[in-house]
Chain A
Amino acid sequence: MRPFLDYLHSSVTPGEYGSYLWAVIYILIIFAVASVAVMLMTWLERKILAHMQVRLGPMRVGPHGLLQPIADALKLLTKEDILPDEADKVVFWFAPVWVMMIAFLNYVVLPFGRTHAVTDMNIGILFVLGVSSLSVLGVIMAGWSSNSHYPLMGALRSSAQMVSYEVAMGLAIVSAVLMTSLNSTGTGTLSMIGIVEAQKAAGRWYIFSMFPLGLIAFLIFAIAMIAETNRAPFDLPEAESELVAGFHTEYSGFRWSLFFLAEYAAMIGISSVAVTLWLGGYLRPFPNLLSGHSWDLAFSLFPGLIFAGMALMCLIGAARMPKIPQMKVQTIGLWLFGGVIALIAVVLFLPGVRERVQDIFWFAAKVAAFMYLYIWYRGTFPRYRFDQLMKLGWKVLLPVSLAVLILTALVGIRQDLSTVLMGVLR
């Protein structure tokens, strides 16, 4: 029991501490939070997309449709689970499980904070790349086992797309990893926490280092990750207007919701990778400009202030609810919700919690910005045609990412290069 509780005073991840129990607890927490985040994300997506299309979106279940995800989940779970007659039963059953497993496997190495990761693998980013390229297998399994035209077409498109964008994505990641090696010792790291710590040591996020190389690599990754997660405008595998629903056309009910959960979990996962590599992961903004003790304090108070503001909004909203019998339950619910958020805000102001939790807050805030971007793209851009997609992948992103990689390497070794050149000239 003692070593179990002693972990709380340590400053390492459960993996480094060697505690399986804490690792399991972390996994459960991450799974629960990711699932809730996915539910919230579905609501946000419907709401934001609706507002971009000058509609209201869900309004009926709960205040502003906040409870809509729960209603959706209930509907999906109680739906009939259809298994097509001609389908390959085992593969059909296994495909959604596989996709979901792979989507959540990434979370093992994601650092939500210096101590808040399941484990700090020394090949973290390589693990992420390997795992995320496996998800295409699940998509192909789903498309093939359905024994139907549309899923097969969707699976074919998906495999071509994911495979071709993986290359550009990998090269962009390599150029970020290369930046970690540009220090005094000259050794880089593949560990996710190591990459963030390298950004901390460098005093800047990698998106700003070696301007504009870091920015270009980040943009390539940002484009490739949308294609990788099959989201608009690269949602060809599930193009609604062409292929019904793509590879999961034949799936219904719970299996379909697994695909859905996997898609959103993969979105959050890959955004976390982008945040870790280029946007400083769990570091607070402006690590070099606004440094110093007072700025640290100001930034650590930020999460609590945000939550306090949200609680205030809830309580004001509850006080301003129309006083009619039909609204009574909703008003009470809003009071309770505001109260819970206020409680969280108070907890976040405690010095001990503040220090340990603020990195999770910054990480979540950056990932949330990426989630908004995903929805924003979907609300704006029309779908690419398949040849345009391939052209963009192979003829634009791949050469540019190669060039960025080479330039990063050249700029990185410019000191040694110039001495060598001087030696040759002499």
Chain B
Amino acid sequence: MSVAPLLRKIFLVDLIKGLSVTFRSQHPDELITEQYPLERPWIAERYRGQPRMAVNPDTGESLCNGCGACALACPEKLITVTSDRDPVTKKKYMTSYTYDVSRCMFCGLCQESCPTDCIELSQDYEMALYSREGMTLDRVRLEKGPEPTEYAR
């Protein structure tokens, strides 16, 4: 054995190197843990999460004109739109709208097919439920949009 490796061994150079690495990594800046419910991760703009329906901010009316394009576009047939025709203006309007998110694969085809930019997939991801019951979202729920849970310590 040559001298240098022997001296390294005797003076525990490698062990001290390892110790210095672990010592330095204690610095608070190195922490990568995310305290999830307290601090939320950054979500990309194009992330496709829980669907929502836009309303006209001035009047509070739904932007949906009841055309049913989203129901046609949905590959899983999750969207049901019923519509009626206004007897006075002869315009079609949406009467009910349900969206079953339990089998949704968040492809975003409904969003792309919508002529009025009404249905869209928002950035909310907290959709877990204990049963399938609440997974069919109705119009009220969709218009209210995602409600991120507020956690208290």
Contact = CB atoms under 8 A, between A and B. Distances in A.
Interface of A: 48, 51-56, 59-60, 326-327, 376-377, 379-381
Interface of B: 15, 18-19, 21-23, 25-26, 28, 30-33, 35, 152-153
Contact of B153 (A54, A60, A380): A60
Q: Which has the most chain A C-beta neighbours within 10 Å: B15, B22, B28?
A: B22
27 contacts: A52-B25, A52-B26, A53-B25, A54-B25, A54-B30, A54-B31, A54-B32, A54-B33, A55-B31, A55-B32, A56-B31, A56-B35, A59-B35, A60-B153, A326-B152, A376-B19, A376-B22, A376-B23, A377-B19, A379-B22, A380-B15, A380-B18, A380-B19, A380-B21, A380-B22, A381-B15, A381-B18
A131 B26 CA distance: 37
Nearest to B23: A376
Chain A interface secondary structure, helix, strand, loop or mixed? helix
Contacts of B32: 54-55
B32 to A, nearest CB: 5
Given A380-B18, A381-B15, A381-B18, 4 more contacts: A48-B26, A52-B23, A326-B152, A380-B19
Contacts of A327: 153
A381 B14 CA distance: 10
A142 B123 CA distance: 55
Contacts of B35: 56, 59
B33 A56 contact: yes
Contacts of A48: 26
Contacts of A52: 22-23, 25-26
A51 B21 CA distance: 12
A52 B18 CA distance: 11
A367 B23 CA distance: 19
B143 to A, nearest CB: 31
A262 B153 CA distance: 34
Contacts of B30: 54
Contacts of A381: 15, 18
A51 B152 CA distance: 25
B12 to A, nearest CB: 9
A55 B35 CA distance: 11
A60 B30 CA distance: 20
A381 B20 CA distance: 12
A17 to B, nearest CB: 44
Contacts of B33: 54-56
A83 B152 CA distance: 40
A335 to B, nearest CB: 18
A327 B32 CA distance: 24
Kindly list the 3 A-B residue pairs having the minimum CB-CB distance in the complex, ordered from nearest: A56-B33, A51-B26, A52-B22
Contacts of B26: 48, 51-52
Q: Which of A48, A60, A376 has the most C-beta atoms of chain B within 10 angstroms of its own C-beta?
A: A376
Contacts of B31: 51, 54-56
Interface centre among B19, B32, B152 (most CB of A within 10 A): B19
Nearest to B28: A51
Nearest to A57: B33
A212 B153 CA distance: 54
A39 B123 CA distance: 44
B73 to A, nearest CB: 45
A351 B39 CA distance: 49
Contacts of A380: 15, 18-19, 21-22
Contacts of B23: 52, 376
